[in-house]
Chain A
């Protein structure tokens, strides 16, 4: 497969023109992110991604991980790559400076993570856990815990995990059974089993810090009785160094469809005297902490959607330019590269259009995180915080679904060679398939969108968002050359408008119907938001078209992507809207016995 090349130009365009890097740099605590520094960071990250992470991706897939006794052996090259990654300081990119990170805005770290995922998703999941855990501990841990654990988690000297799932507690964490019993010294002893723990055990670091969801004695039933505990693989001695092995065992690793380089572990806690752990935050408040960081974790998986799609697109584009097959339909010339066939070109353009739509949405959402976290005006911060809440299920749910579709389409471009493993696109397809499942399935995202993000607040934020989309439409109307896009965006947005009104009019008696249409609603939101971002891109491209030093072909290409999306993907919004309104009721009444 062709070498990965980070799409730096696309990334930079979206950072500057859509996500407003200039405004983010003006925010308090974001001043370091000057344009030249951001360009240098992206450039060096792209070299590292192509030079270190990409070359071991295939080996990781072929070799996978293995369990020897209780030891997990990661693929060849993992250790060296991890050491380089850690020493280069990439884990701390967006993490707090007081614990050794660089504290750069999320907007800057987002394209960098896209590069890590594009080049080696199975590997990148490991350092991503350090980022997620740091964010959780920053929210809930006390100062002593922060100073004990965070320096080494931010530097990557120790690895991190999130332990949520149990055999009976998957999407429903309320069914968690892991017990945590208090001891006299204030710590806890944990007993139980966790499954699907990514990088739950390995030898890549001198310690692993597990963050475990468990029940204290007398905890309330369900999700309101869950507490969060730090449980290290090795207990620390008086100097804070890993010493005695804790009572945790890896008893198996999964044999999976993809991400073979990432060990997915079953961990058994407390087979002997109980695994020592330390309560983080208040008892029974664990899920609340988890939910605060959930937006972040879900966002990162959304980024995987665009990342995997980008890698697949690059491979497909290269193949379509090289592979000679067939005659030109217009002039009959023989021995043509397959990209000259309209249908192959269609696939490539549709891949790129959706990639840019997703990237526009994700990077813009990243800037909302930064505004929500740093803006001095609390009203502005609050609005963006609500935007993040509303759109996270879309960023996760829609971008991963579309990312899968793009990996699928890449195989189609390769034809038979795509079905053969050697070309590498099959691996992308297999690796990507987990994205719509972990960190909450698409269905869970859709329920979250409908229930918590729309119905609970009676559509307030969604209506604000609709207003913002209409504002883009007004701007398009002002530009003669883009007036067709204004009409398209208007029609597209109207579908979401009508559907929103309809959803909010339904009473409690139709709740099952509504949830039956939740996933189509999520797709509708994604389709509209994607179109919105592409029209914003068209506006920005148009404004720059006559500027000195710009590449007119590139800019015209961006405008064409918006038109292509409006012609081919936007009409799907009608279908999704109908599915929301009419599909749910049929589903509710459909007898299970007829299945």
Chain B
């Protein structure tokens, strides 16, 4: 079975996000970039499936600028067999990415597609779901456990009420939650070998997908600074504040 994984280049989670002075966007100049942590979990899950003998080939796809190849090389160093880079400098929104991935799914015919449930830059949480709709494949989102069983995959999902396990018929789309696995560190010899693994470069035009956005970004603002708290003298005062100041009761 072939496993397809999606990898996104995002701002590193350690970086303190700064907004550009003209509020047009987040400032990415000389900011450290990294693989989206949820995508790391997707890579790890695919590599584990390969180690268990369930997956025969793991293919990573990324949509983004040339530098996104760094993240694909990381995926290759972690055990992915080959990579596809769909190069664009445009802002690729979820739907455009889902359309591109749908084309890749059509071409590659994977048994399983694993994506991060969301990317930590815009936190949209929709590419996987859109991909499922576009391809007509069943989806299991927020996975904390993935068990392939014959022509089915049992996905344990983290939902508000607890855990829900669903059985999907393969091929299927899975999006990863935080507790699915703990990604490994790349080994030095594998980092060296990753350079020689195949990495194909395509453009959105090759797939006939138009990236032009239907969403216009008006303004980006940093969240308001958290204000210091106050100590209340009694439960009554607390209730009063919740009612009259916070207006949540």
Contacts and interface: CB of A to CB of B under 8 A. Distances in A.
Interface stretch (B114-122, B147-155, B187-195): B187-195
Contacts of A3: 14
Contacts of A37: 191-192, 195
Interface stretch (B69-77, B127-135, B211-219): B69-77
Contacts of A44: 74, 77, 185-186, 188, 191
A5 B191 contact: no
Given A36-B195, A554-B30, 20 more contacts: A3-B14, A36-B70, A36-B73, A37-B191, A37-B195, A41-B191, A43-B34, A43-B70, A44-B74, A44-B188, A44-B191, A48-B185, A52-B185, A84-B185, A88-B188, A90-B188, A102-B188, A102-B189, A549-B29, A550-B30
Given A5-B14, A36-B73, A88 B30 contact: no
A39 interface: yes
B112 to A, nearest CB: 26
18 contacts: A34-B195, A36-B195, A40-B73, A40-B74, A40-B194, A41-B191, A43-B70, A44-B185, A44-B186, A47-B185, A52-B185, A88-B186, A88-B187, A92-B188, A549-B29, A550-B30, A551-B30, A554-B30
Contacts of A51: 185
A272 interface: no
A39 B70 contact: yes
Contacts of B32: 8-9
Number of chain B interface residues as a range = 10 to 19
Contacts of B185: 44, 47-48, 51-52, 84, 88
Interface in B176-214: 185-189, 191-192, 194-195
Nearest to B14: A5
A8 B32 CA distance: 9
Contacts of A9: 30, 32
Interface in A514-559: 549-551, 554
B231 to A, nearest CB: 19
Interface string B2-39: 00000000000010000000000000011010100000
A32 interface: yes
B186 to A, nearest CB: 5
A413 B84 CA distance: 49
Given A36-B70, A39-B70, A40-B73, A87 B192 contact: no
A93 interface: yes
Contacts of A551: 29-30
Contacts of A40: 70, 73-74, 77, 191, 194
Among B70, B73, B185, B188, residue most surrounded by chain A Cβ atoms (within 10 Å): B188
A76 B187 CA distance: 23
A142 to B, nearest CB: 28
A102 B195 CA distance: 14
Secondary structure call for the A interface: helix
Given A39-B70, A40-B70, A40-B73, A32 B186 contact: no
Contacts of B188: 41, 44, 88-90, 92-93, 102
Interface string A479-503: 0000000000000000000000000
Interface in A72-105: 84, 87-90, 92-93, 102
A90 B187 CA distance: 8
Nearest to B186: A44
A92 B70 CA distance: 23
Contacts of A52: 185
The 8 A-B pairs with the shortest beta carbon distances in the complex, nearest first, are A89-B188, A551-B30, A44-B186, A88-B187, A89-B189, A48-B185, A89-B187, A40-B191
Contacts of A87: 187
Interface in A134-148: none
A102 B192 CA distance: 8
Contacts of B73: 36, 40
A593 B186 CA distance: 62
A3 B12 CA distance: 14
A245 to B, nearest CB: 32
A88 B184 CA distance: 10
B227 to A, nearest CB: 14
A177 B221 CA distance: 72
Contacts of B30: 9, 549-551, 554
Nearest to A92: B188
Nearest to B74: A40
Nearest to A90: B188
A56 to B, nearest CB: 15
A87 B190 CA distance: 11
A550 to B, nearest CB: 8
Contacts of B29: 549, 551
Given A44-B186, A52-B185, A549-B29, A32 B191 contact: no
A549 B73 CA distance: 23
Among B70, B185, B189, B195, residue most surrounded by chain A Cβ atoms (within 10 Å): B185
Interface in A25-70: 32, 34, 36-37, 39-41, 43-44, 47-48, 51-52
B216 to A, nearest CB: 26
A440 to B, nearest CB: 30
Contacts of A43: 34, 70, 74
A47 B194 CA distance: 17
B192 A32 contact: yes
A254 B29 CA distance: 50
B79 to A, nearest CB: 13
A139 to B, nearest CB: 24
A213 to B, nearest CB: 32
Nearest to B30: A551
Contacts of A550: 30
Nearest to B187: A88
Interface in A242-299: none
Contacts of B34: 43
Contacts of B189: 89, 102
Contacts of B195: 34, 36-37
A90 B73 CA distance: 18
A524 to B, nearest CB: 36
A64 B228 CA distance: 40
A102 B193 CA distance: 11
